[in-house]
Amino acid sequence: MEILVCVKRVPDTAENEIEVKGDGTDIERDDLVYSVNEWDNYAVEEAIQIRDKVGGSVTVVTVGDEESEEVLRREMAMGADNGILLSDDAFENSDGKGVAAILKAEIEKGKYDLILTGAQADDGAGQVGGMLAAMMDLPYASLVNLIDVVDDSTLKIGREIEGGNQEMSEIGLPCVLSIQTGINEPRYVGIRGIRKVASVDIPVHGVADLGLPADAVGETGAKVKRMDYFVPEMGDGAEILEGSTEEIIDKLIEHLKAKGGLK
Amino acid sequence: MSQIFAYILHKGGVADDTALELISAAKKIDADASLIAVVTGSGADLDTVCNDLTASYNEVWKIDNAALAYPNAEVIRKLLVNIIPGGSIILIAHEHFGMDIAPGLSIKMNTSFVSDAMDIEGRDGGAIKIIRQEYSGMASTHVTCDAGDGAVISCRPGSFQPDESKSAGGQLVDKSGDAGDLTANRTFLEVVQAETGDVDITKSDILVSVGRGIEDEENLEIAQELADAMGAVVSCSRPIVDAKWMEKSRQVGTSGQTVKPKVYMAMGISGSFQHLGGIKGSPFIVAVNKNAKAPIFQVADVGIVADILDFMPELTEKIGGM
Ligand SMILES: Cc1cc2nc3c(=O)[nH]c(=O)nc-3n(C[C@H](O)[C@H](O)[C@H](O)COP(=O)(O)OP(=O)(O)OC[C@H]3O[C@@H](n4cnc5c(N)ncnc54)[C@H](O)[C@@H]3O)c2cc1C
């Protein structure tokens, strides 16, 4: 099975305290630790496991700047066979539809049976997979937490729905699936693995290579635009307990006693 | 008069809470718009939901077909494209079904798309101004959405006040005949119910809930010791279950358990809306987090900026010595 996985380089929210810049134009990017989007990492692991079972190849692709190459290499160190970087100044500030259009143009240059994305990334929109599928007229399922290959033309899939219940379906290939965390246990990637793929050639494709009309992508093509970042007012917010640890614990215990939090 | 459409989720003959929340969202876009609920399903349950909704929506479009008994987003997306006029504004709840149907719907309707709207600041000509969050709620943004050719907007459950006025006196319209082809290359098989675990976290009055801040599986013991001292049960956020450190039945949130404790101790949990969505009944929330700006502090009653790995043992010791 030929599998393509769309990945994104994002600030690691588990490692960073995200702060909005004073002028609201962006978040503070100095000293941010970046990594591959958590959901995408599960998608790549799933693709590798499917390939190892039924044969084929795994290609990872990202829309981003030069630095995004590092996440492609990381996922190749995990076991993906190929990486493709889609990068062009004209892609900057694309909205979700723009990103999906860029990916679609690349996908149509190849032949893939299965296209995976993460369920969502750093902007929490969860839109690229579903848009891509609709643009390509392919069946789609979101929040997928189980994939079984039935045969060359069918997958049995599980979707995560409310309360931890699982919605089982059959879906025809080729299709697009967005992957939910927890579907597998992504393998560890060591420094050694990264070194191994350090010099592998990763092609870079831009607007011209993809034959995209420049006004379909980037800032000009975007119908949805982010105007600013801001920090919402705290509202009532929590009463922050202060003092020495001892004092804090004493105050907390008073609260807990009053609220029935100690038996 | 402009029209705004809302796709209604329902189960067992009852509309989801978001059905009334989408009314508030629609009114924030255009207070004078005619609001149309689109409800798909089959049989008596569907009729009940539709009849109830006429109190709240100007029109209720009912699409009744046995093939719609279970909502398959791949089928319903096609159906909506058939019945909703081009250029429309369509609202839907941002939960698992909304995430499944909405992005593709915007492509098929050729409209713009904004997902997970938390608030709407109104409409300025063709542009709708929306507030949403990025980076797990650590930054908020204003986005503008060019709705000149229509828009699909998914709204975060619980973010818009439910409109309880029930004064629409709306009309029921049967659109079943316009549904079109109800097949798709994705076939629903069954729903597998979540496994129940050894401990039922929904029954506990006090929960010590651990998040990614626990850092290591071995550290779960520290939380268990605190729970033991408090007479509490340990629950957790999703990453702890994803890492297979605790059973799925211990997970609090929209894709886990809904809990109603008296006291909820959020230990190293950032406070994502999917996590908070599983906490009901307004418990007293204590948050301990090393990041003073963690979103959990916006909803907690009491907050402590500290490392849970240091703080929990000290608290355990103090309680144990009482
Ligand atoms: C469709 C969908 C459904 C979902 N359903 C759920 C659900 O049911 N339940 C759920 O929980 N999530 C759910 N999620 C995931 C959710 O979006 C968040 O990713 C998740 O809740 C984050 O968990 P967390 O707060 O433990 O981790 P993080 O967001 O990584 O937060 C960890 C926090 O710990 C703090 N911290 C780190 N180390 C320490 C320390 N030593 N001491 C003190 N504080 C520390 C950090 O400052 C941070 O605030 C869902 C997501 C999707 C897309």
**pLDDT tens-digit readout, B195-225:** 888 899 999 999 999 999 999 999 999 999 9
Residue to mutate among A21, A137, A223, with most B CBs inside 10 A, is A223
CA dihedral B271, B272, B278, B281 (to 10 degrees): 50
> 55-114 in B: which are within 8 Å (CB) of A?
72-74, 77, 95-97, 99-108, 112-114
Are the C-beta atoms of residues B159 and B22 closer than 8 Å to each other? Answer: no
Query: What distance in angstroms lies between residue B210's CA and the mean position of ligand 1's atoms?
Result: 9
Q: Do B314 and A240 touch (CB under 8 A)?
A: no
Nearest 5°: the CA angle B107, A153, B187 is 60
Q: Which atom of ligand 1 is nearest the CA belonging to B210? A: 26
CATH 3.40.30.10 given to domain A2-221: no
Range list of β-strands (E), chain A: 2-6, 9-11, 34-36, 57-63, 82-86, 114-118, 140-151, 154-160, 166-172, 175-179, 204-205, 224-230, 239-240
- Strands laid side by side in the A166-172 sheet: A204-205, A82-86, A57-63, A2-6, A114-118, A175-179, A140-151, A154-160, A166-172, B186-192
Put simply, whether B239 touches A (Cβ < 8 Å) is yes
Query: What distance in angstroms lies between residue A126's CA and the mean position of ligand 1's atoms?
Result: 17
Q: Using the 8-state DSSP alphabet, how is residue B201 labeled? A: G
Residue in chain B nearest A255 by alpha carbon: B302
Put simply, whether B30 touches A (Cβ < 8 Å) is no
pLDDT score recorded for residue A16: 82
**Ligand 1 site, residue A143, Cβ cutoff 6 A:** yes
Are the C-beta atoms of residues A14 and B212 closer than 8 Å to each other? Answer: yes
A110 to chain B, closest Cα gap in Å: 22
Q: Do A134 and B108 touch (CB under 8 A)?
A: yes
Q: Do A17 and B291 touch (CB under 8 A)?
A: yes
pLDDT at B1 over 80: no
Q: Which CATH superfamily does the domain covering B201-320 fall into?
A: TPP-binding domain (3.40.50.1220)
Q: Which atom of ligand 1 is nearest the CA belonging to A38? A: 19
Residue in chain A nearest B150 by alpha carbon: A223
State the DSSP H helix or E strand holding residue B37, giving kind and residue range, or none if neither. Answer: strand B34-41
Give the pLDDT band (50/70/90) at residue B322. Answer: confident
Give the pLDDT band (50/70/90) at residue B271. Answer: very high
Please list the ranges in chain A whose pLDDT falls under 50. Answer: none
Average pLDDT, integer, range B235-261:
97
C-alpha to C-alpha distance for B135 and B321, rounded to whole angstroms: 41
Query: What distance in angstroms lies between residue B274's CA and the mean position of ligand 1's atoms?
Result: 9
List of chain B residues whose C-beta atoms are within 8 Å of the C-beta of residue A225? 143-144
- Asked whether the bond before A203 is cis by omega within 30 degrees of 0, the reply is no
Query: What distance in angstroms lies between residue B227's CA and the mean position of ligand 1's atoms?
Result: 20
Mean pLDDT over each residue of chain B, to the nearest integer:
96
pLDDT score recorded for residue A236: 77
List of chain A residues whose C-beta atoms are within 8 Å of the C-beta of residue B322? 253
Average pLDDT, integer, range B62-70:
97
Structural domain boundaries in chain A: 2-221, 238-263
pLDDT at B31 over 70: yes
pTM of the shown model: 0.96
Average pLDDT, integer, range B231-260:
97
Average pLDDT, integer, range B160-164:
97
Could you read off the pLDDT of B85-113 as tens digits, one per residue?
999 999 999 999 999 999 999 999 999 99
Structural domain boundaries in chain B: 3-178, 201-320
The C-alpha R_g of chain A, in whole angstroms, comes to: 22
**Ligand 1 site, residue B156, Cβ cutoff 6 A:** no
Q: Which CATH superfamily does the domain covering B3-178 fall into?
A: HUPs (3.40.50.620)
Pick B1 or A262 by higher pLDDT: A262
Residue to mutate among A117, A167, A246, A253, with most B CBs inside 10 A, is A167
Q: Do B189 and A158 touch (CB under 8 A)?
A: no
Could you read off the pLDDT of A151-183 as tens digits, one per residue?
999 999 999 999 999 999 999 999 999 999 999
Domain B3-178 identical in fold to domain B201-320:
yes
